[in-house]
Amino acid sequence: MANFVDINSGLCSKTMTFHSLRPPVSLPPESAPLSLTDFIFSLLNSYHPSPNAVALIDATTRQRILYPELISRFENLVASLRNHFGLSKGDCAFVFSPNNIYTPILYLSLLSLGIVISPVNPAATIPEIHHQIRLSKPVIAFASSSSVHKIPSLKYGVVTIDSVEFESLMECQSEKKEQEGFKVNQSDVATILYSSGTTGRVKGVALTHRNWAANIAGGMSPGRKFPMVTFCTVPLFHAYGLAVSLRTVASGDCVVIMGGGGKFDVRKMYRVVEEYRVSHLALAPPLVVTMVRDADIMDGYDLRSLEVIICGGAHLSKSMIERFKKRLPKVQLAQSYGLTETTGRVFATMEPDESRIEGATGKLMANCEAKVVDPDTGSALPPSKPGELWVRGANVMKGYVDDEEATAAVLDSEGWLRTGDLCYINNDGFLFFVDRIKELIKYKGYQVAPAELEHLLNSHPDVVEAAVVPFPNEEAGQVPVAFVVRKSGSNIDESTIKDFVAQQVSPYKRIRRVTFIDSLPKNASGKVLRKELMIKLSSPTSKL
């Protein structure tokens, strides 16, 4: 097979499958009983962090937890969960809290017992929570004091994660009884996360211990000379934040966590980077947009420690990347592409050289395969031809919880996951995202990619960000309309925006209307909620 694989793109000409050109990552034999926690601690032991190495920092309270303390808190919490609550393998725990310094310890403890974690956005409404509880069937919840009132009655109740009670669970050195016949298999479900819901009803994504082990191992940084300090600004209930926090612990590095909820303060983020000499900053794309938009704010801070900004969860336009690189030329912008269904990233920028390819979102991760498939014919396509991206590997989900029909719609019998994204892979193996297939605008038989028009709009100096959605039209089927966030102080009008785009695209791609808006609605990972914008358009006053 190796003779058929192109050394630049990774494409096997015989199977039309792209293979990762990164060195393969060693994973335990699939049949070996092993929890994700055991796997993480096996990696941690190989890094030998010093007894004085800091594992976790709370940026709000300045509390620090050293690695020996993390281990002791973990061991005590495991014993407390088993002895005080009677939790056992296969139970599910609902985690409903803003980012908290204790969340990674809670995750490690639950996973080691084979308890399924179901972390949820603390901003979720009560109807959303009830739907997620129906999917995951939790027996206990761990919630912040501000969120407890939203949780219905559960078998073992609710533990307040920011309370004295939870502290005592981590400090109480109760007898650590071994559970008879207790073992966690790699194929067991570790987490139930929730798909973004941007394309339909929220689904529970079942990810196994092996899925997570593949993600953690594939993202480790080889050849590091000194410990990294990673500031995780992204939510720990999301695959992105969960992976960043656990991978940082697995490598013996330090993860800084900003507690509390509410509006994110970019000045506070810069202060944290400066105070803790942060080397790696994990962001969602809206924060990159904020950094570029309010670039002058960063001048008052010392950000020289910054080496890498990790950015994933949603697409970042080329113009935004260009503006970012002009502002922070020495910082690597490491973009990635992934889904909840793939346990996070499957394509990523791992080396500095990889971040220099304009518009790309990295190369295929180790141990992964990909195909680009023509949505109409089902045939696999060669490099640089856009089609639906399919991926396969140890990080692909087990399936959707209690939804065989939805699982079968995206996961075939050979393990290929249909992403629903229109992408292409170039001759050097870099992935380029075009758009969501379902979000393509169909104008008189032509396909218009909103992302292409958004890129143009975002390149305008008076535009902070923009989103393009379809609007029903009797003659054309659908036409593109834009929602635009103007730069502060700008009085740019609709006709100027429309003319700006019209000068650069074919007639069928022209914007037919512009609505100015204070901010774009987004989910926790930074994806624009186009459905909400389309609802605005469908109001009685919206006419074209």
| Residue range 59-83, pLDDT digits in tens | 999 999 999 999 999 999 999 999 9
Residue 456 maps to which CATH number? 3.30.300.30
Are 202 and 286 part of one and the same domain? yes
Residue 242 maps to which CATH number? 3.40.50.12780
Nearest in space to 47 (alpha carbons), one of 248, 210, 242: 248
Name the DSSP letter for residue 492: -
User: 């020996």: which residue's tokens?
Assistant: 68
CA distance 417 to 484: 34
pTM of the model: 0.84
Are 35 and 16 part of one and the same domain? yes
Share of the chain above pLDDT 70, in %: 92
Look up residue 69 and give its amino acid. E
3-state secondary structure of 327: helix
3-state secondary structure of 350: coil
Q: Is the model's pLDDT at 229 over the cut of 50?
A: yes
* Residue ranges making up the domain that contains 394: 2-431
Are 406 and 425 part of one and the same domain? yes
Q: Name every residue whose Cβ is closer than 8 Å to that of residue 351 and which is 6 or more positions away in sequence.
A: none
Nearest in space to 311 (alpha carbons), one of 339, 277, 288, 338: 288
**Among the three residues 400, 431, 462, which one is the final residue of a domain in this structure?**
431
Extract the tokens encoding 222: 């080889």
Cβ proximity of 287 and 260 under 8 Å:
no
Q: 481 in a domain, yes or no?
A: yes
Are 217 and 351 part of one and the same domain? yes
Extract the tokens encoding 108: 């490690």
Looking at every residue in the chain, the average pLDDT score rounds to 89
| pLDDT of amino acid 197 | 45
Are 66 and 173 part of one and the same domain? yes
Are 250 and 220 part of one and the same domain? yes
3-state secondary structure of 123: coil
Are 216 and 109 part of one and the same domain? yes
Are 380 and 483 part of one and the same domain? no
Q: 544 in a domain, yes or no?
A: no
Q: 262 in a domain, yes or no?
A: yes
DSSP code string of 76-115: HHHHHHHHHH---TT-EEEEE-S--TTHHHHHHHHHHTTP
| Mean pLDDT (whole number) for 453-457 | 88
Q: Is the model's pLDDT at 540 over the cut of 60?
A: no
CA distance 520 to 527: 10
Q: 19 in a domain, yes or no?
A: yes
Q: 542 in a domain, yes or no?
A: no
The domain total for the chain is 2
Are 425 and 454 part of one and the same domain? no
Are 508 and 379 part of one and the same domain? no
Q: Is the model's pLDDT at 373 over the cut of 60?
A: yes
Extract the tokens encoding 164: 């004295």
